[in-house]
Structure 1
């Protein structure tokens, strides 16, 4: 066997320039990737498993049994009961549905007074509103099939869900503490709608009342100013339109402008949330390209060090 020379030992013990270059580049890339992962961990505010464990094991601060959330559960039960009576008992259904909707104002009041405002309660409240309205609109679509209105009711359901989901998600990714925290710089319409509780209540109440009136319209046939009421205001019986209207039709007519404005607000909410999410996508793509350029600079710098 031929003896090993000093040059051969040096060559064997020292890695090739290309190997050293690859190692240095890999080290730089790993260091950069580690920085990105660390930044991602810092941006992640809550861990899903940790949150799940807290909800399962915590006793002294059980959000499930906060007073506003108990009111929310009552709303769900009342709404479900109203759906049971909806096909065959309009009066009981209307009372149960109306109480469920009115409790929407009390759970928020209780949350503020008792300092029990929670993300779970906010989502429970929104989900209950959306599902309750959707169930009523579904029944109306079946009731007014012969009049060609099912497509309209289906559109209203889709708009309601899509608008609120997009708005809720955009609020989440922008770090808002509540979906109701909308600045004037984002949308003046949404700011007026969400930041004044009286305005919010009137819009939501009139919107639901309009659809309830459509539901009752199928079972109420007698005009308001007929029968005994004709003796107190006989002149109203001859007034065009009002004279032959039932009370659900009259109240529905009064609520219609607010209901229509509520649908316009849903469209605005959907469009603004869409633009916010698109803006976040653009910012993320710009950040990704910026990081890619930084990564390329790190690689070039590492290669330059190895070459020198």
Structure 2
């Protein structure tokens, strides 16, 4: 009997523990808030202070790789954190592309298309993942496109594409300024643009695949729900 009494409080405590947690104060979500602050600062300095903007924007993007690791390490994965991360990524990229559309008016339509593709494909993917009952938008079913599976199943591949994609846009941002720069500096920027440009293009192809795959998944869910409704 005494042994049962000693175990009971522990069981109750373990059940009450998660209820006492504050998801908004999870460590990965705190990192997410810092990303938002850095991104806001980058936007503030974007028009006239490219170097400061570049540093703040780059750190915000690099922290994108840290919050996920923190979530897994501290066992603090959450739907709120996943959506916060996704929304932060989409908003920061969209804001930078808006600036590029102004800096390069001849290519404004291209940047507008990239914003639309980025937001729509990720929203469709996130929505289809949640609707299908997936625990994470990075959990890709075996029936999905093999390129999409390879993209989301390997964190190194995912980080490389996202990093190169953002770096290419940052380089375009820096090149839009006519500030004095050494020949070596210009060579470095153009060389990085030549390397990251194709990766950025590949990222847009993945976005298209992501949009198509999510559309297919949602259509299949619709058909299943209609069949179930007719049976009832």
- Paired residue secondary structure (2:118): helix
**1:164 lines up with 2:115 in the alignment:** no
- 1:207 pairs, out of 165, 172, 190, with 165
- SS of the residue 1:137 aligns to: helix
Q: Is residue 189 of structure 2 the alignment partner of residue 282 of structure 1?
A: no
Mapped partners of 1:72, 1:290: distance in 2? 45
Q: Distance in 2 between matches of 1:270 and 1:151?
A: 20
**Corresponding position: 1:224 with 2:189:** no
**Counterpart-to-counterpart distance in 2, 1:89 and 1:115:** 39
Question: What TM-score does the superposition give when structure 1 sets the normalisation length?
Answer: 0.67
Give 1:125-274 correspondences, 5 Å limit.
125-145=85-105, 148-219=106-177, 220=179, 222=181, 224-225=183-184, 246-274=187-215
Choose which of 120, 124, 140 in structure 1 pairs with 2:80: 120
SS of alignment partner, residue 179 of structure 1 = coil
Decide whether the 8 Å contact of 1:223 with 1:247 is kept in 2.
no
> Hey, what's the Cα distance between the residues in 1 that align with 2:69 and 2:226?
42
Q: CA deviation at 1:59?
A: 7.3
Q: Deviations over 1:199-229 (max 9, x none)?
A: 0110000000000000000125646349xxx
1:66 corresponds to: 26
Report the Cα offset of residue 287 of structure 1: 2.2
User: Contact (CA 8 Å) 1:214, 1:249: kept in 2 or not?
Assistant: no
Larger radius of gyration: 1
Measured in 2, the distance between the counterparts of 1:287 and 1:185 equals: 22
Structure 2: distance between partners of 1:279 and 1:207 = 31
Structure with the higher fraction of residues in helix conformation: 2
Deviation for aligned residue 1:283: 1.7
> Any conservation in 2 of the 1:221–1:246 contact (CA below 8 Å)?
no
SS in 2 for 1:149: helix
Cα distance per residue 1:148-193 (max 9 Å; x no partner): 1110000000000100010111111110000000023212111111
Q: Counterparts of 2:209 and 2:180 in 1: how far apart (Å)?
A: 37
2: CA distance, partners of 1:225 / 1:63:
47
Shift of 1:246: 3.8
Tell me if 1:82 matches 2:42: yes
